[in-house]
Amino acid sequence: MQCEKHQDSSGRQQDSVTRGCQVPTSRPPYSPGFHLCDVCWSPKDHPVHSDGGNPLADITWSCYNTSNTDSESSSGGTKTSSLTFLVTKLQNSRRCQCQATWIYGGYDETVTQTFTVYYPPDKPTTTNPGTLCQGRATSLTCSSSPDHGNPPATFYWTKNSIAVHTGSSYTFSPVKADNGADIRCAAGNTYTDRAGSSRPQSNARQLSVYYVGAPSITPAATQTRKEGESLVLSHVQLMYATRLGGDVIVSVSVLAYPLPSFTWSRSISTSQDLTGSSSPVSDISVTARLHLTNLQEQDFGDYSLTVDNGVGESVTYTVNIVPSVGECGHERRQE
């Protein structure tokens, strides 16, 4: 019987063994495929090879969260041990070891690898925007807590399914058109963006934007009525005439959310009741009315309408009521 060691043409030490000679292997175990794991929730097969020796080395595994049950095969002077297991995110940054030993001692080598496991982020959530005010900057935050995935997620914002921002925080100044819009955030990383996968999305948040709309005022031609007749305007006239003793109903349509309050006033005293009334047309439209009756000389002039819904500054509009030309001439002749 004889035992010899020699080097092959590549310089690797080989064992030449005649039956009955016991020789330990001459190199550590190696695993050319034992590296990063980039797909989660799928089985992975990690082979480790040990060359040479008689008898061949024994290979054992010690990996986090696996059954450590392997399959072995021998070919020539190489033993191969393969460990197959289901990868989970719990194994990220955990170690896996395979140890090769010789039954007669004198040989004990270990290969250690740290897993890098790619996996998706948790379903993201966004802060509640609450009630927003037109033109006033607001910030929303998106988070996939408690787990941002690996690699850490990037966040993508959409408004009515249109991309508007990338990043965990989204700052914008809402406009009237944003009222009722759906806003969402999606979390994406290397795992979610690969073929056949998708980014988890947050539940939709519906924006509620307060804004002030301008009254719908359409100038109209001067209208006159005989004494005692009522003048009804579907749109406010900035200036119009009526006869002494006539009645006027001023109607103003306003778009605003939330619906505003109205206040009629004059800079001088008047015998008219300026309480006025209003009636909603929709959840963003309301009509204000002021009924002036039996107009006397002191009732002609400017009337102010202040519109306020608590968002920003109130808005004031002026309506000028003047006597008709004939009536003015008649009044001047009476002086």
- Kindly report the CATH number assigned to the domain that includes residue 257: 2.60.40.10
SS3 content of the chain, % helix, strand, coil (to 5): 5, 50, 45
Angle among Cα 214, 269, 248 to the nearest 5 degrees reads 55
The residue out of 91, 114, 137 marking a domain boundary is 114
- How does DSSP assign 302-324, residue by residue? EEEEEEE-SSSS-EEEEEEEEE-
Domain extent at residue 142 = 125-206
Whether pTM > 0.75 for this model: the answer is no
The pLDDT tens digits for 259-270 are 889 999 998 888
pLDDT of residue 140: 96
| Per-residue pLDDT at 311 | 78
Same domain, 251 and 290: yes
pLDDT number for residue 188: 94
229 assigned to some structural domain: yes
The DSSP call for residue 177 is G
Three-point CA angle 94, 95, 97, nearest 5°: 160
Task: Tell whether 240 is covered by a domain.
Answer: yes
Cβ neighbourhood burial of 216 (10 Å; 0-12, 13-18, 19+): middle
**What are the pLDDT digits (tens) for 59-77?**
888 887 777 666 788 877 7
Query: How many domains does one find in the chain?
Result: 3
Boundary of a domain, candidates 159, 188, 206: 206
Q: Which residues of the chain have pLDDT under 70?
A: 1-53, 68-70, 195, 212-241, 324-335
Boundary-marking domain end, from 147, 179, 206: 206
Q: Indicate if 200 and 264 belong to the same structural domain.
A: no
Here the tokens at position 248 are 């006027």
